[in-house]
């Protein structure tokens, strides 16, 4: 049996992604985690109407990634996605600005001088009302394709041991106190990452009766990872940003080959 696994392992080779040393491959960033990147200006109003989560704002001509659930209904309104490389040239003609949700920097903690999380980083995931897709993507980080532990990141079971709180899901009424309590139980210094459109803005569930607010209204959020759900590599980017292992500019937000 042991022989089998060893041979099997040698035959399969290294599956683990080269990220962050190299850029992620196309396979690692699936099509549906890429937002529309271009559209003729005349289609903005139509796009705004079709968008179920108000991610497209007509007056500022911007796309709020924190709200986008990547449903692609705006493709009916002429918004362009780069599934086909041939489509890309269209974007060059249409000058559209993309406006991401402002990501707050964490002051002091991971400036170059005090990189206290660089070597060992313990994460605790808390679900405050997700559809389980984000949860699974966070769990997927520990599979051999992404292999968190090679970067010194570990899952932990208790907030008392956690450095970062990974929040997924649209904040539910029943989970507000739990979230606060969990955050309070964490030792200083601590970071919070909110993952997915639901956590950042409420996403598709923002008008349900049990939704309270986005996470940053309840506890201070340091890094956000947009997506519905974001792919594991995007979550990894968020974590590495917390650990100060990559610069903010190196981030490849939800894009295939960069924007």
Rounded Cα gap, residues 74 and 93, in angstroms: 18
Question: Min. distance of Cβ 109 from another protein in angstroms?
Answer: 16
Both tokens assigned to 27: 């396979």
Torsion of CA 179, 71, 15, 257, to 10 degrees: -110
Rounded Cα gap, residues 250 and 247, in angstroms: 5
**DSSP SS3 for 221:** coil
46 or 103: CB nearest another protein: 46
110 or 205: CB nearest another protein: 205
Question: Min. distance of Cβ 156 from another protein in angstroms?
Answer: 8
Question: Min. distance of Cβ 110 from another protein in angstroms?
Answer: 19
Question: Min. distance of Cβ 185 from another protein in angstroms?
Answer: 5
Distance from first CA to last CA of the chain, Å, rounded? 47
117 or 205: CB nearest another protein: 205
Question: Min. distance of Cβ 84 from another protein in angstroms?
Answer: 8
70 or 117: CB nearest another protein: 70
Rounded Cα gap, residues 8 and 4, in angstroms: 6
Q: Parallel, antiparallel, or unpaired for β 153-155 and 121-127?
A: parallel
137 or 163: CB nearest another protein: 137
Whether 163 and 191 have beta carbons less than 8 Å apart is answered as yes
Across-strand partners of 224?
A: 194
103 or 148: CB nearest another protein: 148
Interface contacts to another protein, rule CB under 8 A: 1, 4-5, 8, 12, 15, 27, 30-32, 52, 69-72, 83, 124-137, 139-140, 142-145, 155-160, 169-170, 172-175, 177-178, 181-182, 184-185, 188, 203-205, 207-211, 228-229, 231
Rounded Cα gap, residues 249 and 241, in angstroms: 10
Question: Min. distance of Cβ 95 from another protein in angstroms?
Answer: 26
26: left (phi over 0), alpha (psi -120 to 50) or beta: alpha
Question: Min. distance of Cβ 247 from another protein in angstroms?
Answer: 27
Rounded Cα gap, residues 30 and 34, in angstroms: 7
172 or 194: CB nearest another protein: 172
């Amino acid at each position: 049996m042991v022989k089998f696994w060893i041979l099997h392992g040698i035959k399969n080779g290294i599956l683990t992604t080269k990220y962050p040393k190299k850029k992620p491959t196309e396979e690692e960033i699936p099509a549906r985690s890429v937002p529309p990147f271009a559209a003729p200006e005349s289609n903005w109003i139509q796009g705004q109407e079709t968008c179920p989560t108000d991610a497209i704002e007509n007056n500022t001509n911007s796309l709020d990634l924190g709200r986008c659930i990547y449903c692609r209904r705006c493709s009916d309104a002429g918004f362009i996605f780069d599934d086909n490389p041939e489509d890309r040239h269209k974007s060059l003609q249409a000058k559209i600005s993309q406006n991401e949700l402002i990501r707050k920097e964490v002051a002091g903690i991971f400036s170059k001088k005090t990189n206290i999380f660089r070597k060992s980083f313990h994460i605790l995931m808390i679900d405050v009302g997700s559809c389980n897709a984000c949860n699974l993507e966070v769990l997927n980080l520990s599979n051999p394709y992404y292999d968190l532990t090679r970067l010194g990141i570990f899952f932990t079971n208790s907030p008392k041991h956690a450095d970062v709180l990974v929040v997924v899901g649209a904040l539910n009424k029943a989970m507000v106190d739990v979230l606060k309590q969990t955050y309070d139980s964490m030792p200083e210094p601590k970071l919070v990452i909110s993952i997915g459109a639901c956590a950042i803005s409420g996403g598709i569930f923002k008008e349900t009766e049990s939704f309270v607010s986005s996470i940053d209204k309840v506890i201070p959020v340091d890094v956000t990872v947009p997506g519905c759900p974001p792919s594991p590599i995007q979550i990894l980017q968020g974590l590495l940003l917390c650990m100060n292992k990559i610069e903010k500019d190196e981030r490849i937000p939800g894009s295939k080959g960069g924007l």
